[in-house]
Amino acid sequence: MKILFFSFPPGLRRAAAGILLLAALVAGGGWLWYAHRFAVWRAMAIYSVPTRERVVALTFDLSWGHNTPGPVLEVLKDYGLRVTFFLSGPWVKIHPEIARRIAADGHEIGSHGYRHVNLSRLSPEAIRLEIMKAHRNILEVTGRAPRLLRTPNGDYDQKVVRVAEELGYRVIMWDTDSLDWKNPGVERIVSRVLKKAHPGDIILMHASDTCKQTAQALPLVIEGLQRQGYRIVTVSELLALQEAPRPAPLRRDQEQKGWRERPLPDA
């Protein structure tokens, strides 16, 4: 092949190279069109966003209690930050005043589902019910229609993502788990986040009462990230920065295995 190619006169060789380049461009463009048209890369959960910008999204799951959210909100206000909260439907109904404060403070509101159960075990119809019950709760109380879903326990499969996307949701995971849900100590939380954060990262924290060290760790996390040159934004703001669509393999976060927030009764 190589010998054949170089046996051509230079003019023909240039023409051949040009044709090859054109073919590559057409194929690449065709793939992009196909991926966009059929939403190929969207049929999966999002762990981070490909960008070179030093920007990260800070996220808080919240499905239990009323003691931790206040101090977390105070810290965020002190630093003038707007982040993303994933609220569970029943929690929003039990603590409407806190949910409304989260909205009033300008934070982005996502859904943490209804019951704190693994959605991958349920039928598509049952998954749809879980998502829609939480959706109605959050909309009723905060006036906001969530479009982002952090599934309970970070559990999902293709079926869960497909149902969520049919309902207009994007499934949001994380690259950096602060492990604040293990109450490992303020220093461990802070050093872990600062070591693992990267451009386009989604960082997982919690504002549920089971997490006793989050509010104390938060100022150090924020200051550390800012020292590293990071801007802290909401998940939607991060998604808007996406430079190029890129498929990523489905993956479950092993660290989430066995983790349960206190389950709430099915109201």
Sign of CA dihedral 172, 237, 68, 127: negative
Q: Which of 51-59, 65-73, 137-145, 256-264 is the region at the interface with Zn ion (rule: CB under 5 A)?
A: 256-264
DSSP assignments along 121-182, one per residue: GS-HHHHHHHHHHHHHHHHHHHS----EE--GGG---HHHHHHHHHTT-EEB--SEE--GGG
Which parts of the chain are beta strand (E)? 55-62, 84-87, 108-111, 148-149, 170-171, 176-177, 202-206, 231-233
**Complex with Zn ion: residue 180 or 261, whichever CB lies closer:** 261
Find the shortest distance in angstroms from Cβ 152 to Zn ion. Answer: 5
What part of residues 27-86 is at the interface with Zn ion (CB under 5 A)? 61, 63
Query: Is 135 known to be catalytic?
Result: no
Neighbours of 52 (CB within 10 A): 9
Q: Is position 261 an interface residue for Zn ion (rule: CB under 5 A)?
A: yes
User: Should residue 108 be labelled a site residue for Zn ion when binding is judged by CB under 5 A?
Assistant: no
In terms of CB distance, is 201 or 261 closer to Zn ion?
A: 261
- Return the amino acid letter for 42: R
**CB of residue 19 to Zn ion, shortest distance in Å:** 55
Minimum Å gap between C-beta 162 and Zn ion is 22
| 107 in active site | no
Stretch of 75-83, 216-224, 236-244, 254-262 lying at the interface with Zn ion (CB under 5 A): 254-262
> In this structure, is the dihedral angle defined by the CA atoms of residues 242, 244, 249 and 250, taken in order, positive or negative?
positive
Classify burial at 266, counting beta carbons within 10 Å of its beta carbon; exposed 0-12, middle 13-18, buried 19 or more: exposed
Considering the candidates 95, 112, 135, 206, report the single residue annotated as catalytic: 206
Q: Is 155 in the site for Zn ion (CB under 5 A)?
A: no
In the complex, least distance from residue 1 CB atom to Zn ion, rounded to whole angstroms: 57
Residues annotated as catalytic (active site), given as ranges: 61, 206
**Which stretches of the chain bind Zn ion, using CB under 5 A?**
61, 63, 261
